[in-house]
């Protein structure tokens, strides 16, 4: 595979690259007609292509070969988190989660949320960039901001956990989770979930869990949860 | 324990807080004489104190009680890594590694290192801040930049691994590492270790390992290694 990966969600149907990718191809990498490039659709395929028209706004490619790339994990891994006040911390989590492997990221609004809104488009751009950089063919879904109650009442075919810091009974995630299970985990804001939120989640079937012996920042907790699941599945 | 933790490496012998901590105490938190505060020495102890002199440059405290805080892990975990070109990526790794738990961080200079120097003092400040934020009593050591050969020839009482991306035989870290073992792991620069470096490390007793199925950035690989070890030990 060529070292630089391009992203075009419609590459299976449309041989024109999006504007941003075309610009990167022609202006930044100075690729020329006849050059080879690899494009992913973010849905599990790599397309080996030849550049047939090096237009800075709309490159045209010819597909030579398509390769199904299996996802590096065979469970459904979703993190619903209350975005941190500092934007870069949320962006950091998305970048790292995509590198390490995640299916869905769901920003949620909680009682103690300091950040009440978030630019999902910006997180999507970061996810695309991290997917390309880590040479993957799956673009995780970044949902729009959801309410806490919306998330806990949503059906989910797998284990549901809530990580919190209250002095209530809870088990380490690594001991609760079993290899191969799908997981939806909720991570609270800087000020934690309210005790009422924890109780509502438990009533909705979420298991209260801990992630570490020390107090983790929101974005650290999110990534620790993701990596914990991958490690258990790799054993 | 009070919510804000202070750091004074000599608190066991000296009841004056360092200038930066004194300023934070008096100017930022506006603490007054008679207020309670918790100070750590970064060597495994919390000291419950009373503020007896609220001087903005040199607070004096009276120690009421000292509490030995055990480290959250009982193995020696060291990461030697080639710092990334972008400073914030290195700082990010140090912050996260301290939150999650690490003993020693060793910046190393490799054949393909894009960054040839690094301000250790800055990384130390970040480590202190992360230790306080995550309410821990252990400050990991941040070594000065070392040469690759210095690191591989150094004696280490535990497992030694090198993570690289070359197409050479290697095993997943999670399968190679055994619960309870000390670990020194080497993580290369953006351009990876040179093949010669990999061979030298193997000759010096390092096991070649992989950390993920996807291509990780240096700082992501560092944190993934740390968290992988903690997960295995928590099972």
pLDDT band at residue A2 under the 50/70/90 scheme: low
With beta carbons less than 8 A apart as the criterion, state whether B47 and B53 touch. no
Shortest CA distance to A118 belongs to which of A95, A140, A97, A88? A88
Please tell me the predicted confidence (pLDDT) of residue A75: 97
Delimiting residues of CATH 2.40.240.20 domain(s) in chain B = 5-68
What's the pLDDT at B2?
A: 53
Mean pLDDT of the region A141-150? 97
- Which residues of chain B lie closer than 8 angstroms to A172, CB-CB? 234
Comparing CB atoms, the residue among A99, A175, A223 nearest residue B216 is A99
Residue (of B3, B6, B34) closest to B22 by Cα position: B6
User: Cβ of B99 and A231 within 8 Å?
Assistant: no
Subunit contact A134:B216, Cβ cutoff 8 A = yes
Q: Which residue has the tokens 């993580």?
A: B187
Please indicate if any CB of chain A lies within 8 Å of the CB of B176.
no
ipTM score of complex:
0.91
CATH 2.40.240.20 fits A5-68, yes or no: yes
CB-closest option in B101, B133, B217 to A99: B217
Higher-confidence position of A101 and A4: A101
Inter-chain CB proximity A216 and B134 less than 8 Å: yes
Strands of the sheet containing A36-40, edge to edge, are A5-7, A36-40, A45-53, A60-68
- Does A48 score more than 60 pLDDT? yes
Q: How much is the pLDDT for B36?
A: 95
Please, what is the average pLDDT of chain A? 95
CB interface of B with A, residues 31-60, below 8 Å: none
Q: Residue B28: count other Cβ atoms within 10 Å of its Cβ.
A: 9
Percentage of residues of chain A with pLDDT beyond 90: 95
Q: Is A235 on the interface with B (CB under 8 A)?
A: yes
Q: Where in chain A is the domain with CATH 3.40.1280.10?
A: 77-234
First to last CA, chain A: 29
Instruction: Please provide residue B77's backbone torsions phi and psi, each rounded to the nearest 5 degrees.
Output: -115, 115
CB atoms within 10 A of CB B54: 17
**pLDDT at residue number B83:** 97
Torsion (CA) A76, A143, A115, B86 in degrees, nearest 10: 70
Place of tokens 């012996």: A213
Q: Which residues pair with B38 in a beta bridge?
A: B5, B48
Question: Tokens at residue B229, please?
Answer: 């070890």
pLDDT in tens, A158-214: 999 999 999 999 999 999 999 999 999 999 999 999 999 999 999 999 999 999 988
Angle at B103 between CA A97 and CA B11, to 5 degrees: 120
- Give the tens place of pLDDT for each residue, B126-137: 999 999 999 999
- CATH code linked to domain A77-234: 3.40.1280.10
Structure-token match 């252990």, residue found: B138
Rounded Cα distance, A85 and A116, in Å: 9
Residues of A in contact with B136 (CB under 8 A): 214
How far is the C-alpha of A128 from the C-alpha of B216, rounded, in Å? 15
Give A74-87 pLDDT, tens digit per residue: 999 999 999 999 99
Contacts with A47 (C-beta within 8 Å, 6 or more apart), sequence order: A11, A12, A38, A39, A40, A41, A61, A63, A65, A66, A67
Give me the pLDDT at residue A70, please. Answer: 87
Q: Of chain B residues 92-121, which have a CB less than 8 A from chain A?
A: 92, 96, 99-101
Residues of chain B with pLDDT under 70: 1-2
């Amino acid at each position: 595979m060529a070292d630089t990966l391009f992203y075009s969600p419609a590459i299976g149907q449309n041989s024109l690259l999006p504007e941003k990718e075309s610009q990167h191809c022609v202006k930044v990498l100075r690729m020329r007609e006849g050059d080879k490039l690899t494009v992913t659709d973010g849905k599990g395929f790599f397309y080996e292509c030849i550049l047939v028209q090096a237009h800075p706004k709309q490159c045209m490619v010819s597909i030579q070969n398509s390769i199904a790339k299996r996802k590096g994990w065979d469970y459904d891994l979703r993190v619903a988190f209350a975005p941190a006040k500092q934007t870069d911390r949320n962006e950091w989590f998305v970048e790292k989660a995509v590198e390490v492997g995640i299916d869905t990221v769901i920003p949620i609004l909680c009682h103690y949320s300091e950040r009440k809104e978030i630019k999902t488009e910006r997180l999507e751009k970061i996810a695309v960039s991290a997917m390309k950089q880590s040479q993957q063919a799956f673009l995780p879904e970044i949902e729009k901001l959801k309410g806490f109650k919306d998330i806990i009442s949503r059906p989910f075919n797998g284990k549901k956990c809530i990580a919190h810091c209250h002095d209530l009974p809870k088990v380490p995630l690594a001991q609760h989770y079993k290899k191969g299970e799908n997981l939806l985990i909720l991570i609270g804001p800087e000020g934690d979930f309210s005790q009422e939120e924890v109780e509502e989640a438990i009533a909705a079937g979420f298991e209260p869990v801990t992630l570490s012996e020390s107090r983790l920042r929101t974005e650290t907790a999110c990534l620790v949860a993701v990596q914990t699941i991958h490690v258990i599945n790799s054993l």
